[in-house]
Structure 1
Amino acid sequence: MNEFWHAFSREKNDQQYNPTLWTKRLPTEELLPAHIAFTQEKSESYRAKGVETLAFGEAEFAGSIDVFRPDTLPENAPIVVYIHGGWWQWFSKEQFSYLAQPFNHQGFAVYMPGYRMAPDWENNTPMESIVRQMQYALAAILKVAEKSAAPTLYLVGHSAGGQLVTMLQHTNWQQFNVSESAVQKLKGIFSLAGLFDIRPLVDSFVNDEIKMSSSSAAAVSPQLLAPAAHNCPVHLLLPELDTPEFFRQTKEYQQKLLAEGRNCYLKLAQSRDHLDIIEKLAEDNDEIMNYLLTNMKVE
């Protein structure tokens, strides 16, 4: 693994890990506001059609999951779990409700768990706490999948969510009272514009509010962990217009998984940047959505 990033200055890290600086479809200062406005409008429209909530977790790890299951779907519909991004400190599950629509139309029930933002945790391990909270969330969804006889479950995450979905495969599900038959329903992981070595972010703008330590960053870096307990295909979707560091990290993570004997696929999202890789998923015949659906079996 190439660790030349150790030599990066704070300025270099800020440049390499801020994808909004690298796309040219809008001026940098307009890109994020446009993304927020777009996703909010789309999501408010889809939420108006109906959303249920599912509680999960306990104590500080408690939270809620938005469930999108139109009346046209059977109780045992296959499941997609979507975890949102935002550098572990911005946005919310409600911001991305619109992404449930294309999956619903293809016969999937969609579960979107929310997590407490990293600066809001009253401890010294906010990043590990977010992972733990998402483990509780997925445990609750896996139990629902078993109870409803859903045949398959897929994890999809974007950016920070892309890191979280790859971390979840390292969970000891016995600690959450999840049966092995329920765990086996997890058939694929899709990380869109994810990061897999969090250590470079310690000295960057991302950490100004999180204040994670180097040891915490290592603990939540899938690149540095032992082989995952659960073996299912992993798909890494990389926007063509992301930064060189996103390219390096994605390719090195694929190499790690392949060396472990895992099935890991890298898909280049041509002409897509860090934000419109998800903005366009709800468009008709979108290439990336078609890739996701092609690799998700409705059994």
Structure 2
Amino acid sequence: MIPQVTDWDDAYANAPHIPGGAGFPDRWAAEAGAFRDRHPPATLGLGELYLPDDPRGLAVIVHGGYWMKFGPRWFSHLAAGALARGWAVLLPGYTLAPAGQLATMRDEIALQIAGAAARVPGPIVLSGHSAGGHLAARLICADTPLPDEIMARVARCVPISGLFDLRALRRTAMRGDLGLDDRTAMLESPLFHEPHPELSLHVWVGADERPVFLQQSRLIADAWAGIPRETRLTVEPGRHHMDVVAGLTAAEHPLTEALVGAV
């Protein structure tokens, strides 16, 4: 059972509750830079596109940062696992809040996916971490901005430690920068939409995450169960919010398998 929340800003704060949490962004940036040196990406709008020879399909990984921080250049290394398995990988960028609003971010990512899909044949799989998990899930809702011919190629969505019910964030200091009035919180929460049925959903979260993130992942897995052709929830032991995405760097890690395996 989730404990009673008395401080909503603290409930959604991750780095202060993780040993060495403040150092993760610098670590990500260093690993991402080293990966780009080995695998220079093509640019696609605000994003990065990694293209192997004869790609098996297109994997999309949307970065997190509470919609207000970071960009693909902090997370280039997350393409490593799927790329090693022969998948093209798109790390889309989006206009950060407060300049960008949630619906704008979703639409910008959809345009980049369409651009990458025009260059890469085969199935498409979507993922994202934290705020990126929210945006990935939002893209598979019935009112997706993805064109029908692109949506028909989407085989799977794997949101990682995502945010699916945004109403609680109205109680945090982020609400102003995110433009989270009552209407926006409802419209942009995947929880209040139905997903496309012709794909599979695999919700992923770390066992050592803050209670609200565990709750958010269980909530969407339960709410959407039975609508996609398959719905799964994995609570990965020993992982917290900052390292739960690390599995994407390894070709044989279960998280990479969840994203690009047996499509």
Give the TM-score of the pair, scaled to structure 2: 0.89
Kept after mapping to 2: 8 A contact 1:81/1:110 = yes
Residue equivalent to 1:209: 177
- Give the 3 Å change call, closer, same or farther, for CA 240–106 of structure 1 in structure 2: same
Residue equivalent to 1:157: 128
Shift in Å at residue 94 of structure 1?
A: 0.9
Residue equivalent to 2:105: 130
The 5 A counterparts of 1:129-208 are 129-145=104-120, 150-170=121-141, 172=143, 178-180=147-149, 182-208=150-176
Shift in Å at residue 244 of structure 1?
A: 1.7
Query: Which of 277, 281, 293 is the matching residue for 2:244?
Result: 277
Cα deviation code 1:2-24 (max 9, x no counterpart): xx99x955xx211221133443x
Q: How high is the sequence identity, in percent, across the aligned residues?
A: 21
Residue equivalent to 2:83: 104
- Give the 3 Å change call, closer, same or farther, for CA 260–185 of structure 1 in structure 2: closer
- Give the 3 Å change call, closer, same or farther, for CA 96–202 of structure 1 in structure 2: same
Kept after mapping to 2: 8 A contact 1:22/1:241 = no
Q: Which entry has the higher C-alpha Rg, 1 or 2? A: 1
Shift in Å at residue 93 of structure 1?
A: 0.8
For 2:236 and 2:114, how far apart are their aligned partners in 1?
31
Say which is worse superposed, 269-278 or 13-22, in terms of deviation: 13-22
Kept after mapping to 1: 8 A contact 2:129/2:162 = yes
Residue equivalent to 1:87: 66
Cα deviation code 1:160-202 (max 9, x no counterpart): 00000100012556x76x353x432211001111111011001
Indicate the SS of the match to 2:204: strand
Query: Which of 202, 218, 240 is the matching residue for 2:207?
Result: 240
For 1:224 and 1:39, how far apart are their aligned partners in 2?
33
Cα deviation code 1:89-139 (max 9, x no counterpart): 000111100111221111111111100001123xxxx12221222222223
Cα deviation code 1:203-227 (max 9, x no counterpart): 11332533421211111101112x2
Kept after mapping to 2: 8 A contact 1:170/1:230 = no
Query: Which of 222, 228, 231 is the matching residue for 1:264?
Result: 231
Instruction: Structure 1 unaligned segments of length 5 or more: list them.
Output: 56-63
- Give the 3 Å change call, closer, same or farther, for CA 239–266 of structure 1 in structure 2: same
For 1:241 and 1:276, how far apart are their aligned partners in 2?
10
For 2:173 and 2:229, how far apart are their aligned partners in 1?
33
Q: Is 1:65 the counterpart of 2:47 in the alignment?
A: yes
Name whichever structure is richer in helix by fraction.
1
Kept after mapping to 1: 8 A contact 2:196/2:228 = no
Give the TM-score of the pair, scaled to structure 1: 0.79
For 1:109 and 1:194, how far apart are their aligned partners in 2?
23
Counterpart of 1:184, as a letter, is A
Query: Number of matched residues?
Result: 262
Cα deviation code 1:13-42 (max 9, x no counterpart): 11221133443xx1xxx412x211111111
Shift in Å at residue 140 of structure 1?
A: 2.4
Residue equivalent to 1:19: 14
For 2:252 and 2:86, how far apart are their aligned partners in 1?
16
Shift in Å at residue 151 of structure 1?
A: 1.9
For 2:229 and 2:167, how far apart are their aligned partners in 1?
24
Kept after mapping to 1: 8 A contact 2:197/2:228 = no
